[in-house]
Structure 1
Amino acid sequence: MMGGYGPIGGWWMLLALLVPLAFLLVLLGGGYLLTKQMSDSQQLRNPAMEELRTAYVRSDLTDEEFEAQRQRLEQSE
């Protein structure tokens, strides 16, 4: 006899272990890439624009002042 595993041998057992492992690695890699992309997009924000928005929300700026400074910042980027 061939050890009770048939003509294929023990390869099917190895394959049965590798497929779920590969699936897990793909899931973990996708999660890592998604997390990295989201954190990178948050770092790309302009701190000057964030401060301008904060000042506008606090009512430190009028609508006209906010728009003028926003346009100036967007042109400088």
Structure 2
Amino acid sequence: MHPADFFSLVIETSITIAGFSGIVIVLGRRVDGVWSARDRIQLRALLLSSMTPIAISGLGLLLLTTDIQLLWRASVEGLA
């Protein structure tokens, strides 16, 4: 599997989890509209656990599309 395919798969899976958390929010809404502190913490954890892989995989895809050696040489030459 090519690294870009892997990163894309991770991003797609994470977006699916984030979408599922949206469904949980809509369907799990309390009758009076008040969420307990535990519910809010669980939903934040669910969203954070899906957003973190999206950010990391996005960074990986960005690094795959850039030429790291050219960036490294430019930064080293700039310091000299």
TM-score for the superposition, normalised by structure 2: 0.41
Q: TM-score, normalised to structure 1's length? A: 0.42
Q: Which has the larger radius of gyration?
A: 1
* Structure with greater contact order relative to length (CA < 8 Å, sep ≥ 6): 2
